[in-house]
Structure 1
């Protein structure tokens, strides 16, 4: 005999996600009015209902030891890249050589891939553009591309390798 879930749990399958959606909506809206709060509440109910229907791939977590170093490396890269991009944008346009690279992925965990794409996109001058259907290649746009092989090596050693420890 299957037990029917209470109405509250059916309407709000993930209270934390509902609260997060509401909080982000209120923070992102340009005004703090009753209408915005009500719209945030509606979104906080509707978004988790659709998210609950998505096919979920649960994250397997491996070692958490690489996280502090990975965060420091990422923050450092963001800082350095901001300076580098500012110099490139303020300098002569002819010195900028944008390009795309296909980054071969060793990481297979979709959550690790999502973290990798976020780190790449957060770093100024690079944007994750597409993931191949087989999840084996990531298309990355680079504002200034000198050496594609060196960029691939840096991404794989600085970001992908630690993420593979976190998301086996």
Structure 2
């Protein structure tokens, strides 16, 4: 019965907290609106969530989070150097096709977010059967190296977490 009323309890709590933080005076009206949002939004959006998340190995997720943070900083420097470069030092962007072993839709969604958050990389397209991913790299020097990097740094931990 509780799962029917609150299909995503963490989402409900997050919505209540977010509403209260964004609306500074904590009046009764804001509390009621926060509770209505926390109750209604997860119920109304339940059909939009493709599969329930089976989150395993939180330590792996934490290490992945740190890895992405380091990569964001590193790629910011690479993009900055590339935009300031001249002649042979100009970046040569290009597309790579990454074969995917990851099949979980939630894991693929996280991979999409990672690829879009790291400067210099863009998730461009995924094959209809989810077997390959097309990624644009701002400064592509070695396609095989970049493919191996994406598979090792992001896909393998996501498979461990979600599959």
TM-score, normalised on structure 2? 0.73
Deviation at 1:65, TM superposition (A): 2.4
Q: In 1, Cα distance between the equivalents of 2:162 and 2:155?
A: 10
Do the aligned partners of 2:53 and 2:106 also contact (CA within 8 Å) in 1?
yes
Task: Give the structure 1 partner of residue 148 of structure 2.
Answer: 153
Q: In 1, Cα distance between the equivalents of 2:56 and 2:8?
A: 25
Task: Give the structure 1 partner of residue 50 of structure 2.
Answer: 56
Unpaired runs of 5+ residues, structure 2, are: 25-29, 31-36
- 1:108 correspondence with 2:103: yes
Deviation at 1:160, TM superposition (A): 1.0
Q: In 2, Cα distance between the equivalents of 1:157 and 1:143?
A: 20
* 3-state SS of paired residue (1:102): strand
Do the aligned partners of 1:59 and 1:109 also contact (CA within 8 Å) in 2?
no
Q: Structure 1 residues 106 and 20 mapped into 2: Cα distance closer, same or farther (>3 Å)?
A: same
Do the aligned partners of 2:112 and 2:123 also contact (CA within 8 Å) in 1?
yes
Cα RMSD over matched residues?
3.3
Q: In 2, Cα distance between the equivalents of 1:67 and 1:46?
A: 29
